[in-house]
């Protein structure tokens, strides 16, 4: 088999990753935008609404609405900013952390089952090596 051209491989990989990402997200019970905010808070810690908006590439007003909905659901809480009394920080609540972990578990569970049912042992080995390569590309 000839070595694939990087441009063609990039198109195939992007398409396949997009399909897989959409399929995994189909398992979600938390709306995508909200899950993204919860994930950011989990990874990066407490943030201002403005910082969250910049991170998610949305308007601050849109993020304020999202944060308000997440607060109503008990998934995030606000606390005073430690150095600026005019600001507040948004952080995950224990319920938010539990919801996020459940969401991640559903996604991983679906993917693990698909790998088990669809791939041979040899294909799983190839996939394991590919995951490491994808990590390298993502770190570039």
Show the 3-state SS of 42-97: HHHCCECHHHHHHHHCCCHHHHHHHHHHHHHCCCEEEEECCCCCCCEEEEECHHHH
Does residue 128 surpass a pLDDT of 90?
Answer: yes
Q: What's the mean per-residue pLDDT of the chain?
A: 94
Length of the chain: 140
Whether the model clears a pTM of 0.75, i.e. scores above it, the answer is no
Residue 77's contacts (CB-CB under 8 Å, 6 or more residues apart) are 71, 90, 91, 92, 93
Does residue 136 surpass a pLDDT of 90?
Answer: yes
Q: 113-122: per-residue pLDDT in tens?
A: 999 999 999 9
Cα(15)–Cα(109) distance, rounded to whole angstroms?
22
Q: Which of 69-92 are b and which e, b meaning 16 or more Cβ less than 10 Å from the residue's Cβ?
A: ebeeeebbbeeeeeeeeeebbbbb
Mean pLDDT, to the nearest integer, of 8-13? Answer: 94
Q: What are phi and psi of 91, to 5 degrees?
A: -140, 160
pLDDT at 28: 80
Mean pLDDT, to the nearest integer, of 33-52? Answer: 95
Q: What are phi and psi of 83, to 5 degrees?
A: -120, -10
DSSP 8-state assignment for residue 27: T
One of 1.20.1250.20, 1.10.10.10, 3.40.109.10, 1.10.150.20 is the CATH number of 25-139, namely: 1.10.10.10
Query: What ranges do the domains of the chain cover?
Result: 25-139
Q: What are phi and psi of 12, to 5 degrees?
A: -60, -45
């Amino acid at each position: 088999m000839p070595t694939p051209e990087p441009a063609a491989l990039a198109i195939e990989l992007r398409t396949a990753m997009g399909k897989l990402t959409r399929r995994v997200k189909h398992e979600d019970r938390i709306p995508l935008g909200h899950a993204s905010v919860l994930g950011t808070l989990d990874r990066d810690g407490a943030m201002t609404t403005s910082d969250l908006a910049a991170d998610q590439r949305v308007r601050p007003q849109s993020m304020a609405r999202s944060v308000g909905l997440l607060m109503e659901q008990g998934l995030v809480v606000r606390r005073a900013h430690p150095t600026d009394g005019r600001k507040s920080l948004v952080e995950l609540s224990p319920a938010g952390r539990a919801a996020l972990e459940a969401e991640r578990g559903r996604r991983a569970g679906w993917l693990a089952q698909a790998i088990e049912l669809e791939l041979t042992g040899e294909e799983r080995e190839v996939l394991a090596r590919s995951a490491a390569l994808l990590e390298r590309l993502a770190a570039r």
